């Protein structure tokens, strides 16, 4: 399938990749791009050959934000009645497979928010994160004020969102926004693929359950979250792969997952 604003590939068995590809606008996230992204992620989500998804941009930009030129003329009633930006959350509500964001260059505004919607965030040390919406007379609109605050804490998030200043990949990793920062673009892409392959080597049932349980921690109070985890844990004793995995350990063999 060919898209206008993104590229899709399966770089390794079990790994699907979406590459944002609107170089003329530093991957600014116009509405048609978001629709293509949702379509591609939806297809990977239902594909038997994919267990984990990589979302990346270019060396220069993961994404420089929502498309400012598209947004500029929007009125309140248009934004409200068309649920502007709502379709962005499909990534967090529809996709059950883990998504690794590989961020190099700019990840600003909606670009930073898109990266934060992913399940693991890797970046280069030189990456440039920020929520500069205040400079445009608005505020983050795709979860930035919530996810950035959960990731790095209130005072740091408040400072970034109120000043619009940006944050390097080094700081992002130090503050816990990113899981790891890599010294070069090549190292970023290589390690992202390696991590994706590692995950894709496990039982798909367990991978999806793990993502679901961890994400609950963002929404539920601790006691409910722990209970939720226990229920999902219990349910995994109904999978074939639980038997396969534990038997293989006892026999000192490599498990051959059925993904069932």
- The site for ligand HXC (CB under 6 A) is made up of 25-26, 28, 64-69, 85, 106, 108-110, 113, 132-133, 136, 140-142
Q: How far is the CB of 110 from ligand HXC (least distance, A)?
A: 3
* Tokens (6 digits) for 7: 């590229």
Q: How far is the CB of 36 from ligand HXC (least distance, A)?
A: 16
Chain center to CA of 27? 16
* Tokens (6 digits) for 50: 């994919």
Query: 123 forms bridges with which residues in the sheet?
Result: 103, 181
Please pick, among 28, 61, 66, 210, the residue that the annotation labels catalytic. 66
Give the residue among 101, 122, 86, 130 at the shortest CA–CA distance from 20. Answer: 101
Please pick, among 25, 57, 63, 133, the residue that the annotation labels catalytic. 133
Per-residue b or e along 5-32, where b marks 16 or more CB atoms closer than 10 Å to that residue's CB? bbebeeeeebbbbbbbbbeebbbbbbbe
Tell me whether residue 98 or residue 132 sits nearer to ligand HXC (CB atom): 132
Q: How far is the CB of 162 from ligand HXC (least distance, A)?
A: 15
Helix (H) or strand (E) holding 125: none
Give catalytic status of residue 66 as yes or no: yes
Taking the alpha carbons at both ends of the chain, their separation in whole angstroms is 29
Tell me whether residue 63 or residue 210 sits nearer to ligand HXC (CB atom): 63
Give catalytic status of residue 157 as yes or no: no
Dihedral angle of Cα 128, 87, 38, 93, to the nearest 10 degrees = 90
Q: How far is the CB of 116 from ligand HXC (least distance, A)?
A: 11
Please pick, among 61, 101, 104, 113, the residue that the annotation labels catalytic. 113
Tell me whether residue 85 or residue 127 sits nearer to ligand HXC (CB atom): 85
Please pick, among 14, 16, 105, 110, the residue that the annotation labels catalytic. 110
Tell me whether residue 16 or residue 65 sits nearer to ligand HXC (CB atom): 65
Tell me whether residue 51 or residue 128 sits nearer to ligand HXC (CB atom): 128
Q: How far is the CB of 167 from ligand HXC (least distance, A)?
A: 14
* Tokens (6 digits) for 155: 């005072």
**Spatial distance between the Cα atoms of 140 and 133, rounded to a whole number of angstroms:** 6
Give the residue among 34, 185, 162 at the shortest CA–CA distance from 110. Answer: 34
Catalytic residues, by residue number, are: 66, 110, 113, 133
């Amino acid at each position: 399938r060919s898209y206008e604003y993104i590229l899709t590939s399966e770089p390794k068995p079990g790994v699907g990749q979406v590459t944002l590809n609107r170089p003329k606008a530093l991957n600014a996230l116009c509405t048609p791009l978001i629709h293509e992204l949702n379509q591609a992620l939806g297809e990977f989500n239902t594909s038997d050959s994919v267990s984990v998804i990589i979302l990346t941009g270019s060396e220069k930009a993961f994404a420089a934000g929502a498309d400012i030129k598209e947004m500029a003329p929007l009125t309140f009633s248009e934004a409200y009645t068309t649920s502007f930006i709502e379709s962005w959350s499909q990534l967090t509500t529809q996709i059950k497979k883990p998504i690794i964001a590989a961020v190099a260059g700019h990840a600003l505004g909606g670009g930073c928010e898109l990266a934060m919607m992913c399940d693991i965030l890797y970046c280069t040390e030189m990456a440039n994160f920020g929520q500069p919406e205040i400079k445009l007379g608005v505020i983050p609109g795709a979860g930035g004020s919530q996810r950035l605050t959960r990731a790095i804490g209130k005072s740091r998030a408040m400072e970034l969102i109120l000043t619009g200043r940006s944050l390097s990949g080094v700081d992002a990793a130090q503050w816990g926004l990113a899981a790891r920062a890599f010294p070069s673009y090549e190292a970023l892409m290589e390690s992202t693929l390696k991590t994706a392959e590692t995950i894709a080597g496990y039982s798909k049932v367990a991978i999806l359950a793990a993502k679901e349980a961890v994400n609950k921690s963002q929404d539920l109070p601790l006691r409910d979250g722990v209970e939720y985890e226990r229920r999902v844990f219990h349910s995994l004793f109904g999978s074939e792969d639980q038997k396969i995995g534990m038997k293989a350990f006892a026999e000192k063999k490599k498990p051959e997952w059925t993904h069932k």
